[in-house]
A = this chain, B = another copy of it.
Amino acid sequence: MSELIEKGKKAKRASRELARYSRAKKDEILIKAAKALIEKQDEIIAANEKDINAAKESGISGALLDRLTLGKGRIESMAKGLVDIAGLDDPVGEVLFMKKRPNGMTIGQKRVPMGVVGIIYEARPNVTADAFGLCLKSSNVALLRGGKEAIHSNMAIVKVIQSALEECDAPREILQLVEDTDRKVALEMMKLNEYLDVLIPRGGAGLIQSVVQNSTVPVIETGVGNCHIYVDESADFDMASRIVINAKTSRPGVCNAAEKLLVHSSIADEFVPRICAELEAKGVKIIADEKVRDIYPKAEKATEEDWFTEYLDYVIGMKIVGSIDEAMNHISHYGSGHSEAIITNDYSNSQRFLEEVDAAAVYVNASTRFTDGSEFGFGAEIGISTQKLHARGPMGLKELTSTKYIIFGDGQIR
């Protein structure tokens, strides 16, 4: 039996026991696991050093190496993450409705765990603890497959958490790591329908696309954010500037950062020079259509490809549009359905934008940067879904659950 199938079987078995745990039991495990991470941080750091050395040898550096590195501070924040999750409400067991049918039968819909959640991720070992915490709190067993660059770190973290599970008399299979980091095994995991109830990729666009393309297990796609801000004719310029600067520059590398700015033609002569100067002062490169370049010649010429691109950098695409319809058509064609904003003081345009723009989050007069589980008040966040099935937008613990119907009869037949 392959490692994967063996672990899949064990995961399925453990999921039945985990489904019976009370919130108190789950929180106890989370707190124990957090303590164990702190107590055994030397083991984790030693394992992490192996990964770091291997990464350096293979020429990895910069942001990738930084993400891989676990210092005392990062381990503490992993532990704090678990403690925070313990503080969140239990999503499982809630009855969403219950009603009596005409034949006297009572039907209820109850929130239940998914069962076994598979997570495929890259070289960020902190995802290991985080994914465990979110899955456990939603009564799901986690089967993780991390990147090979972080294998020693991941193994060490899993070992520490498994020791905490055992201390709490819980099956260690509540958290398992697939240790074979061959790409073939990841592909095999994407077809593991018998043991996995859902598969969540966490990482870059390449990983996510590979999972979407290859998985027969139901996938929750977390995604790309080619987010637009449309500055309408009636916009307050101060507000528009403040929001554009915030959405573009407060953290350019995240999916809810603005990537494109659309400006109504009737205000372009006044607004474009002003926002361009402010963006440039923040180090943002401007790539634009011809109309913008007529007003602001320093801007680079945009290609068709640019309008589709999520830069994740100090770069913005800028375009002048003749109407809200042109803005919405552009967003519909080039957008990724993540977060879209209009800056306006026009009632009817605000309503149309909210109604007609098809995205996970649609804003009037606020920064796209708010598309985030904790900003929305959900506590934890598993990711931001850009698909329409099951979950859309920031996903909290609830999105890691399913439902079942429970029926109380007294002999009813049909």
Interface residues of A (CB under 8 A from B): 16, 19-20, 99, 101, 105, 107, 109, 112, 114-115, 193, 197-198, 212-213, 216, 218-221, 236, 239, 242-243, 246-247, 250, 332, 354-356, 358-367, 369-371, 375-377, 387-390, 392-394, 402-414
Q: Is the CB of A407 within 8 A of B243?
A: no
Q: Is the CB of B355 within 8 A of A412?
A: no
Q: Is the CB of B413 within 8 A of A362?
A: no
Chain B residues near A404: list those with CB within 8 A: 358-362, 392-393
Q: Is the CB of B411 within 8 A of A243?
A: yes
Question: In the complex where A212-B193, A218-B219, A366-B407 touch, is A358 in contact with B112 (Cβ < 8 A)?
Answer: yes
Inter-chain CA distance A112–B354, complex, in Å, is 11
Q: Is the CB of B193 within 8 A of A388?
A: no
Cβ contact of A413, chosen from B212, B243, B411, B412, cutoff 8 A: B243
Inter-chain CA distance A66–B125, complex, in Å, is 59
Closest A-B pairs by Cβ, 3 of them: A366-B409, A246-B413, A388-B402
A363 shortest CB reach to chain B, Å: 4
Q: Is the CB of B20 within 8 A of A114?
A: no
Q: Is the CB of B212 within 8 A of A375?
A: no
Inter-chain CA distance A54–B119, complex, in Å, is 49
The SS class assigned to the A binding surface is mixed
Chain B residues near A115: list those with CB within 8 A: 358, 388
A22 shortest CB reach to chain B, Å: 12
Q: Is the CB of A411 within 8 A of B216?
A: no
Cβ contact of A389, chosen from B250, B390, B409, cutoff 8 A: B390
Chain B residues near A371: list those with CB within 8 A: 405
Q: A220-B389, A359-B404 are in contact. List 17 more A-B contacts (CB 8 A).
A: A16-B332, A16-B358, A20-B355, A101-B377, A107-B376, A112-B358, A242-B411, A243-B413, A361-B405, A365-B410, A365-B411, A366-B408, A366-B409, A367-B409, A367-B413, A371-B405, A389-B389
A260 shortest CB reach to chain B, Å: 18
Chain B residues near A375: list those with CB within 8 A: 101, 414
Inter-chain CA distance A53–B243, complex, in Å, is 66
Q: Is the CB of B242 within 8 A of A366?
A: no
Q: Is the CB of A367 within 8 A of B414?
A: yes
Chain B residues near A362: list those with CB within 8 A: 404-407
Nearest B-chain residue to A108, judged by Cβ? B354
Question: In the complex where A390-B390, A412-B366 touch, is A19 in contact with B358 (Cβ < 8 A)?
Answer: yes
Inter-chain CA distance A246–B411, complex, in Å, is 11
A214 shortest CB reach to chain B, Å: 8
Inter-chain CA distance A404–B366, complex, in Å, is 16
Question: In the complex where A101-B377, A332-B16 touch, is A414 in contact with B250 (Cβ < 8 A)?
Answer: yes
Inter-chain CA distance A86–B194, complex, in Å, is 40
Q: Is the CB of A354 within 8 A of B406?
A: yes
Q: Is the CB of A376 within 8 A of B360?
A: no
Most B CB within 10 A of own CB, among A16, A220, A389: A389
Cβ contact of A366, chosen from B366, B376, B411, cutoff 8 A: B411
Q: Is the CB of B250 within 8 A of A364?
A: no
Q: Is the CB of A356 within 8 A of B19?
A: yes
Inter-chain CA distance A250–B242, complex, in Å, is 67
Chain B residues near A243: list those with CB within 8 A: 411, 413
Question: In the complex where A115-B358, A389-B218, A406-B362 touch, is A369 in contact with B413 (Cβ < 8 A)?
Answer: yes
The 15 listed contacts between A and B (C-beta, < 8 Å) are A19-B358, A114-B389, A115-B358, A193-B212, A218-B219, A218-B388, A220-B389, A242-B411, A243-B411, A250-B413, A354-B406, A359-B404, A362-B407, A392-B402, A394-B405
Nearest B-chain residue to A359, judged by Cβ? B404
Inter-chain CA distance A377–B213, complex, in Å, is 37
